[in-house]
Amino acid sequence: MYVVTPYPNTAYALDLSKPGPSIKWKFDPNPSPQAIGKACCDAVIRGWAYADGKLIYNMLDDHTVAVDAATGKQAWRTAMDDVKHGVTLTQSAFVADGKVFVGNSGGEMGVNGWLAALDVATGKELWRAHAVGSDKDVRIDNTFKPYYDWMKGKDLGINTWPSGAWDTGAGASWGFVSYDEKTKTLYYGTSNPGPRVPVQRPGDNLWTSAMFARDPETGMAKWAYQFTPHDQWDYDGVNEAVLLDMPINGKMRHTLVHFDRNTYAYTIDRNTGEVLLANNFAYQNWSTGFDMKTGRPTVDPAREPKPGVKIDRVCPPDIGQKDWEPPAFNPNTGLLYVGVFNICMGLTDHEVSYIAGTPYDGMEMERFSVDGPDGNWGGLIAWDPAHGKKIWEVPEKFMVMSGVIATASNLIFYGTTDGWFRAVDAWTGKVLWSQKLGSGIIGQPITYMGPDHRQYVAVAAGVGGAAMVQKDRPGFLPRGNTIYVFSVDGDTIQTAADTAPTPVGAVAAQQ
């Protein structure tokens, strides 16, 4: 098992064939401490990739590193940007087609967003595509075919902005990347426009809060779709794209499903960018509807920020009713399982000036439950992506910010930020098992077959980042740095040599 920590981005290899387990090797990359002061949203990391015997991941100080998975020795390290500009790397590196794909963070720092491709073998940069700027910078040419007319035109990454504003317009690519091997297409999203004060950047602000489909070999854009034109609430568009082939209205379609922070669940034709379904998966009040003909949401003017004017209730808040945490798909049920929030914000904007390497923000807010002071802050939902509707929900007192994992035995595992790790029935949502851990959970669970040929589920307990908006709520559990491993088969497990068997669901490994 390989584990990479948040800053200082230390990597560990754990030998699961040994009781305990034992640490096989440890890699200390020693990133620059300057990165801590430039990270907008905590010193987090969202995962790592494996390819050709290498563990590949991003470091907060703008380097991507490859480590020999057998020895823990560095294979290569590539500088991607300069933290002095406010750029950091928190994204999970993604490998496909012999390349490593890396995107930047720093949308609140006025950076210019990008996604780059590196060679897996050497770390050499092969291409880089920006989210804003000229068609050349964005890697758009005459093969670019967006579905909707309002996204057709020349240099829209400049012309949908006030003069010069695009250069500090953000569009960071800090979320997850997906890949369709059959069509050789990458899918990924871009962040909010900068600054977060909308009156300073009138226009649609393309290509922020959007999704790109790109050729992984050349980086050229195939199509794009903007989820929240002129994003006024920091909704971003970086959440994952789940690639599913399924019938929509009686016709088999090659789709991607995206749960946006703006609270619309999109089912999109992944070959063309056409929106097939757009439905709310949780409560929102910023939009009064969705125009399927134009592919645009309709904005409620009462929720539009104006400098110095407080809006008491905008739902969802900046972090959405779902953030970057991935859902899970169960092909037996045909459902997606999604950790969600149930929150709103009070909002006040003020105009700001750009200073390189400092926050370019201007949004002040407080978050609270949709249902009042004693209301729930989150839950787990089962979503039917072929019909755009919620099937069931497990309400939770705190935000569900872990990812979700599904097993072939129709179990769904997830964690809560008050420390509960649960297994529920994929068909009904019935909670089958819960274990209180030593910290809240925002890590993605995994499941694997151990060296003993038994199935396990593992999760990292620990909180940070956006989870800290709950820090003043009684019951919030902000501890961490523990990996918990549980048996899935219902039998007892052994935690260390010469110890007695422990009860079902007991901790098998802590490190």
- Residues belonging to the active site: 108, 192, 234
Six token digits for residue 216: 């992984």
Q: What is the DSSP letter of 93?
A: P
Burial class of residue 435, CB neighbours in 10 A (0-12, 13-18, 19+): middle
CA–CA gap between residue 196 and residue 361 (Å, rounded): 5
Q: Please identify which residue in the block is written with the tokens 């690639």.
A: 243
Residues 343 and 315: beta-carbon distance below 8 Å: yes
CA–CA gap between residue 507 and residue 502 (Å, rounded): 8
Residue 2 has, within 13 A of its CA and on its CB side, a CA count of 19
CA–CA gap between residue 206 and residue 62 (Å, rounded): 25
> For residue 442, what are the CA distances in angstroms to 337, 344, 418, 485?
16, 20, 10, 15
Six token digits for residue 130: 């920006």
Residues 56 and 64: beta-carbon distance below 8 Å: yes
Determine the 3-state secondary structure of 122 from DSSP.
coil
CA–CA gap between residue 464 and residue 443 (Å, rounded): 10
Q: Is 53 left (phi over 0), alpha (psi -120 to 50) or beta?
A: left
* Residues in contact with 42: Cβ distance below 8 Å, sequence separation at least 6, in sequence order: 6, 464, 465, 468
